[in-house]
Structure 1
Amino acid sequence: MARFIFITGGVVSSLGKGLASAALGALLQARGYSVRLRKLDPYLNVDPGTMSPFEHGEVFVTDDGAETDLDLGHYERFTGVAARSTDSVSSGRIYSTVLEKERRGDYLGKTIQVVPHVTNEIKDFLDIGADEVDFMLCEIGGTVGDIEGLPFFEAIRQFSHDKPRGQCIFMHLTLLPYLAASGELKTKPTQHSVKELQSIGIAPDILVCRSEQPIPEKEREKIALFCNVRKEAVVAAYDLKSIYEAPLAYHEQGLDQAVLDAFDISPAPRPDLSVWEDVKDRVEHPEGDVKIAIVGKYVQLEDAYKSIKEALTHGGMANRVKVSVEWVDAELFDREDAAPHLEGYHAILVPGGFGERGTEGKIKAAEFARTRKVPYLGICLGMQMAVVEAARNLADLGDAGSEEFDHEAGKKRFTPVVYHLKEWVQGNAKVKRKADDDKGGTMRLGAYDAVLSAGSRVAEIYGTTAIDERHRHRYEVDLDYREQLEAKGLKFSGMSPDGKLPEIVEVSDHPWFIGVQFHPELKSKPFAPHPLFRDFVRAALENSRLV
C-alpha cells in the first residue's frame, strides 16, 4: 500500500508546487522507491482541453488520451513515469461524476452535499492504484484559502484520518518575502498560511519555503516554533538557473530526508543521483550555442509551449549545446515578408494551435525554411501548414488551405488539403466524430502507432520503422493530394498502420525539414531526449557552422 504525500501551497500562486513535487518524486526514485504523481485542480472545467492557452498554458496529453494540467509534464520529465487519465482530476470532473450518479439514482434519493458525496468521490479518486507504488504524491492546485479548493482540502483531511497512522503526510509550500528596505526575510505570511491550513484540520509535516535570500538559522527556528514543525522539516527552496537543478538542490536542503523522517523510515536507502549530476553538468557546461525560433500564436505566454521549450533544452543537452529559444509571433508576418523576422536563426519550429489567426505567418515560416534550407520542425498545425505551403508553391494549388478555417469563416474559401477528421481506428474500435460535436475530449487524443518508410530520414532518426506517439488534433492532411505533393519532393514518410492517416512528412532535398502530426515534445525527458528533438538541435548546430 502506498504512502501518501499531499503537497499544498500558500501565500501566493506560481511558487513551484509542481516542480517541487516532480523533484521529490525523482529523489524518492533515486533512493529505490516507486512513485506516481497526481494533480487535483479546483477549477470547474472538466479538464483544461477547452481552455485557451492564455488561460492555463499548454494542455499535456497522456498515452490514454486524457487532456491534463501542464504539471503532469513536469512529473513525467522528472520521473519518467508515464502519466494516466487517473493522475489528473478537476472539480468539474468530480461534480460531473456526482451529478451523473444522482441522475441515475445511485444515491437512493438522499440529499447530495459536498460532504460526504463530493469528498467521497475525491477520496475514491485518490485511492486508485494505491497498491501499485511505494509513494503517491498528490498536488492540490491553487492556494490554501481559495474557496473552490475547500472540498479538496476537506477530502485529504478525511483521507489521512481514514488511513492507518503514519501513512499520510502533508507538505506545504510557502513564500518568505524579502524586504529590501529593512533587509529582512519576513516569516509572517508563512505563519498565516499555516494557520489557515490548520484551521481546516490539516497540520503540515514539512514546510518548503521559497526565498530569494538564504534563510538564517534564527528565522528557520522561528518558523518551526510558530508553525509547529521540526526545524529539520523547514526546507529552503531557492531560485535556480535551471529547473533541472531542482532534484540536487532539494536533496542538498534535505527534502527527501525530511519526507523519510516524517514517515519514520530508517535507515533510509542511500540515493543514486548520478543521472541528475550528469543532467546538471550538461546544462551548466555547454560546448556551443544555437538560436531557434518558435513561430507561434500564443508566444505572449511561454507556458503555452512549455513541453516544446523543455524538449529543445533536452535536445541541447544531448548535443552539449545551449539552445537559445526566441519567440516569434506568427501574426507579425501574416501579410508581409517573413525574412526580416526569421533571418539569423539556426532552425525554425512551428508548433500546434487552433483557429486561423496567425496561420498565414506559419505558412510563410515554412516557406522561408524550405527555400532557405533552414532546419524546420512542424508539429501538428505546424505540419499541416507546411503541407499547405507545399501545395500552394510546389503543386500549383494556390488556394490550398484547411477545412478548419472554412468552418471558422462559415464559407468555402480554400481547396481543403487539410480536412476535418470524421473517422479513425483506436485499438480495435472505430471512432466517429462530427464537426458540430462538443469540443471537449472529441479530438484524436493519446498514443497511436505509426509506420515509418524504410530508408527515410525519420526512420534513421528513430532507429526503427515502428513508433507510437501522442496526438491531439481533429484535422488531418488529405491523402488525395499525396501523389501531387510527393512528385514535388514532399514525402509522406510516416503513416498510420492502416495507411489512411499521414503522420510524418519530410522534404527529400533539404538538410532537415520534417513535419509531424503528433506531439513528440510530450515524451521527451532530460535524461532521455526525444530522437526528433535531439536530431533537430544537431541539424541546427550544423547550420550554425555554415551561417
Structure 2
Amino acid sequence: MKYVLVTGGVVSGLGKGVTASSVGVVLKSCGLRVTSIKIDPYLNIDAGTMSPLEHGEVFVLDDGGEVDLDLGNYERFLDIKLTRDNNITTGKIYQSVIDKERRGDYLGKTVQVVPHITDEIQEWIERVAMNPVDGTEEPADVCVIELGGTIGDIESMPFIEALGQFSYRVGPGNFCLVHVSLVPVLNVVGEQKTKPTQHSVRGLRGLGLMPDILACRSTQPLEEHVKVKLAQFCHVPISNIINLRDVTNIWHIPLLLRVCHMKLLVCMIAKFSFDMVNLKAFLSLNTYMYYFFMRAVWVKLLENPSCLNGLKEPADVTD
C-alpha cells in the first residue's frame, strides 16, 4: 500500500480537497486503485450536528455517515464509494481510545497522546485504507490522505505526530507528501512573495515531515525565479513544484491541472516506482477534460466516454 498525504500551509481554504482529488485522478488514470481519507482535527464525532455556517455543507454517504463535503468530491472525482470511517475526526479517535481504556485494553497503563492517540490514528488509517471502495473485493493500491486545517494548528498536532511516525514506519518509498501553500502578491510592490511558503515548509519540517511535492496557489502563474527560490529554500526539486493559479471558474481547474498533472504523474512514478502505469488512459483523461468544456455538440461524447477511442488530444487548451 502506498500513501499520499496532502497538507496545507499559510491559510485555510487553499483547495487541499481539490488537490487531493486531482492526485487521485492522476493515479487512477494510470490503472491504480485509489481510496481516500479525510482527517478533520475537530472534537465533533462527525459533521452531522455542525452548522453549515461553521463547516460548510454536510455530505451524506451511502452508509448514512454525515461527513465533510470533501468526501463528496472524492467520490465524484474517483468514482468510488466511501464509508463514515473514511472521515477521521479528533472526536472519533478520542472516543475510541477512551472506550478501550474503560474496557481495560491498556492493562492499567497511563493513557497518553503519545503513544496511544498517535497509535490509534495510524491503526485507523491502515485499517480503512484496505477497505475496497470501487465495487470490487480488491484493496486499493494508493490511499490519498487529506489533513484538514493548516500546519501549526494546535488541533492538528496529534495527527502530524502520528503521520510523522507513520511515514517513518512505512518507509520513504511508500509515502509521499504534497504540501499546498500560498504565494501571495502584495499590491504595493506587485511581487510574488515566497516567505509565507518558506515558513510553512520550515514548520512542517520541524514537525518531522518533509514535502516531496510543493503545490503553490497564486493569483498569477509563478515566475521562474520564484520557483528557483522556493526550490532553494524549501529543499524541494524545482521539477516537483506545481503551480495552481486562480481561475475565473472552478470548472476550469481540470484544464489548469492538465499540464500540472503530467508533472505530478512523473513525480509520483519517481517516488513510488510504479510498474503498471497506463499512460494511454491518462492521455484519454486529458482529452475528455478538453471536450467536457466544449459546447452541446459534444453531449454524446460526454454521455459515452468510450467514444474517446481514436480521438486525438488537443494541441493546446486555454481558459
- State the TM-score, normalized to the length of structure 2: 0.86
**Counterpart-to-counterpart distance in 1, 2:36 and 2:129:** 11
Q: What displacement does 1:35 show?
A: 0.2
Q: Helix, strand or coil: the match of 2:73?
A: helix
**Counterpart-to-counterpart distance in 1, 2:151 and 2:34:** 25
**Counterpart-to-counterpart distance in 1, 2:299 and 2:161:** 45
Q: Deviations over 1:48-107 (max 9, x none)?
A: 000011111111111122111100011111111111122111001111111111111111
Write the letter of the residue equivalent to 1:258.
C
Q: Deviations over 1:174-199 (max 9, x none)?
A: 00001232121100000000001011
Partner of 2:265: 256
Partner of 1:12: 11
The change in CA–CA distance for 1:245 and 1:36 in structure 2 (over 3 A counts) is farther
Partner of 1:60: 59
Q: Which has the higher contact order (CA 8 A, sep 6+)?
A: 2
Q: What displacement does 1:318 show?
A: 5.8
Partner of 1:164: 171
Q: What displacement does 1:279 show?
A: 4.5
**Residue pair 1:12, 1:143 contacting (<8 A) in 2 also:** yes
Partner of 1:211: 218
Write the letter of the residue equivalent to 1:255.
L
**Residue pair 2:31, 2:278 contacting (<8 A) in 1 also:** yes
**Residue pair 1:166, 1:263 contacting (<8 A) in 2 also:** yes
Q: Tell me, yes or no, if structure 1 residue 185 matches structure 2 residue 192.
A: yes
Partner of 2:49: 50
Identity, % of aligned positions:
43
**Counterpart-to-counterpart distance in 2, 1:123 and 1:15:** 26
Partner of 2:295: 285
Partner of 1:357: none
**Residue pair 1:206, 1:259 contacting (<8 A) in 2 also:** no
Write the letter of the residue equivalent to 2:210.
A
The number of residues matched between the two structures is 293
Q: What displacement does 1:164 show?
A: 3.4
Q: Helix, strand or coil: the match of 2:48?
A: helix
Partner of 1:88: 87
Alignment of 1:361-400 (within 5 A): none
Alignment of 1:110-509 (within 5 A): 110-131=109-130, 132-253=139-260, 254-265=263-274, 268-270=277-279, 271-275=281-285, 277-285=287-295
Write the letter of the residue equivalent to 1:79.
L
Q: What displacement does 1:247 show?
A: 3.9
**Counterpart-to-counterpart distance in 2, 1:186 and 1:274:** 36
Q: Deviations over 1:282-313 (max 9, x none)?
A: 335357xxxxxxxxxxxxxxxxxxxxxxxxxx
Q: CA RMSD, aligned part only?
A: 2.2
**Residue pair 1:248, 1:273 contacting (<8 A) in 2 also:** no
Partner of 2:20: 21
Q: What displacement does 1:130 show?
A: 3.8
**Residue pair 1:45, 1:91 contacting (<8 A) in 2 also:** yes
The change in CA–CA distance for 1:241 and 1:82 in structure 2 (over 3 A counts) is farther
**Residue pair 2:29, 2:278 contacting (<8 A) in 1 also:** no
Q: What displacement does 1:262 show?
A: 2.2
Q: Helix, strand or coil: the match of 1:73?
A: helix
**Counterpart-to-counterpart distance in 2, 1:245 and 1:273:** 18
Q: Helix, strand or coil: the match of 2:216?
A: strand
Q: Deviations over 1:345-403 (max 9, x none)?
A: xxxxxxxxxxxxxxxxxxxxxxxxxxxxxxxxxxxxxxxxxxxxxxxxxxxxxxxxxxx
Write the letter of the residue equivalent to 1:259.
M
**Residue pair 1:24, 1:247 contacting (<8 A) in 2 also:** no
Greater fraction helix: 2
Q: What displacement does 1:273 show?
A: 4.2
Unpaired segments ≥5 residues, structure 2: 131-138, 305-319
Could you say which structure has the larger radius of gyration?
Answer: 1
The change in CA–CA distance for 1:256 and 1:243 in structure 2 (over 3 A counts) is farther
Q: Helix, strand or coil: the match of 2:53?
A: helix
**Residue pair 2:258, 2:286 contacting (<8 A) in 1 also:** no
Q: What displacement does 1:276 show?
A: 5.3
**Counterpart-to-counterpart distance in 2, 1:267 and 1:218:** 36
